[in-house]
Amino acid sequence: MLSCFAPPATPARLVRVVSADSYAQWQAAAPAAAREWLAGTDFKLKPGAVALLPGPAGEPPEALLVASSPPEPWDASSLFAALPPGIWQLADVDDLLPPALATLGWALAAYRFTRYRRDEAEQPRLVLPTGAGVERAVQIAESIWLGRDLVNMPANDLGPAELADAVGEVAARFGAECRTIVGEALLGANYPAIHAVGRASDRAPRLVDLRWGDAAAPRVTLVGKGVCFDTGGLDIKPSTNMLLMKKDMGGAAVMLALARCVMALDLPVRLRLLIPAVENSIGGTAFRPGDVLTMRSGITVEITNTDAEGRLVLADALAEADSEEPSLLLDGATLTGAARVAVGPELAALFTPDDRLAEDLLREGTAGFDPMWRLPLHTPYLGYMKSPVADLANASSKAFAGSITAALFLKEFVKRTGSWAHLDLFAWNDDSRPGRPRGGEATALRPLLALMEGRLGRSS
């Protein structure tokens, strides 16, 4: 159990939950002292508002929370931020704030990254609610905590080997198979782009390959960009653009967190997770502008920008994933600044040629309070990736539609799988909001999980 929860039946103070519609009814039945206190403190009736109702000795015996209509997990996140230390319990309010939403929102607000700085502030704890979906919510929260931890980790402590170790730890916990191809062995195994991007670092590149589940079950393959730090290579980034490059493995963090959730919930799938883990460094062995790589798929690619490296490592991994023709193929990457210009930091940019898959993901994103936005795979823009010496260039010749051209590049390596989606995501909360503290984020995990559950079923 996450540390922010207390076991059921633990003595606790109550949190009363109301909505804007039910507040008047609650107020009419409330003790006169509570009504007077709220009037005296100028309590505002708005979603997420919390009031502490003092007892005879001045301590708060109860709290009042105004839930959104319809309810959101961020209601419970706002509650966490407003309550003093102690153990609290939600009153019987299933309709106003369902237990699963309350559990998720509370847990996401309780997350702290404390590896390098001790956080001695005592936090409130919530008696773990009971009801439908609570265990699922706990597993989602634990997975998101894992993803956030990985993205928040600085590159000096999270390189390719440490990222591979994190995958191995999750694999061991759930009985998955996990193998890693490292360094020069990548060439023998025909992963030339992963090797090229990572070879200049003294921390060897690698491909991490996790498999789990019944071999006869529908195949679901997840691919995550694991660039543990990106200098830009010989096309070096400006220093200000490097400040957040520890999070350039955010796609790998999200997909590992999603894989953990799939295994924890025992979904009836044959899961495969592929993470190309590299550091894009500068050195005598760095790949160069003008180099031509023959990719795993056989496509030749001229390197016109060494800072467009994420699509290269993804392309080799996607080609391998595509060779098995899974029922569902999903990749996630902190791929382009253009996606952030287009949709900002909070939305994942969704690309897929499958209209039904797009509709399902957009619906689940809205329902799961983690929305995304579909951008077009406008085929004519692939012409921006022409090369006079190779089948493709790795970067566009124009300054337009950067996230679209990157997605079109990846699409060239997915030829056999019918249901594929690429998510260009930020994996970072630029500002703190209820339940979403500034820092690493497992963007899009919830809608991706819900999609799999809806399409492939939950375990019995």
Indicate which residues carry an active-site annotation: 237, 311
The string of DSSP letters for 27-43 reads HHHS-HHHHHHHHHTT-
Which two structure tokens, joined as six digits, stand for 364?
A: 């689940």
Which two structure tokens, joined as six digits, stand for 391?
A: 């089948």
Burial status of residue 379 (CB atoms within 10 A of its CB: 0-12, 13-18, 19 or more):
exposed
**Nearest-10 crossing angle of helices 160-174, 134-152:** 160
Which two structure tokens, joined as six digits, stand for 266?
A: 């025992």
Q: Are 46 and 66 in contact (CB under 8 A)?
A: yes
Which two structure tokens, joined as six digits, stand for 9?
A: 């039946």
Q: Does the bond joining 7 to the residue before it have cis omega, within 30 degrees of 0?
A: no
Angstrom CA distances, 349 to 84, 178, 182, 444, stand at 38, 30, 31, 10
Instruction: Quote the distance between the C-alpha of residue 247 and its chain's center.
Output: 12
Which H/E stretch holds residue 200? Answer: none
**Angle, CA of 50, 142 and 211, to the nearest 5°:** 155
Amino acid sitting at position 260: R
**Angle, CA of 118, 121 and 125, to the nearest 5°:** 120
Q: Cα dihedral sign for 164, 169, 170, 176?
A: positive
Q: Are 361 and 419 in contact (CB under 8 A)?
A: no
Instruction: Quote the distance between the C-alpha of residue 400 and its chain's center.
Output: 27
Which two structure tokens, joined as six digits, stand for 68?
A: 């959104």
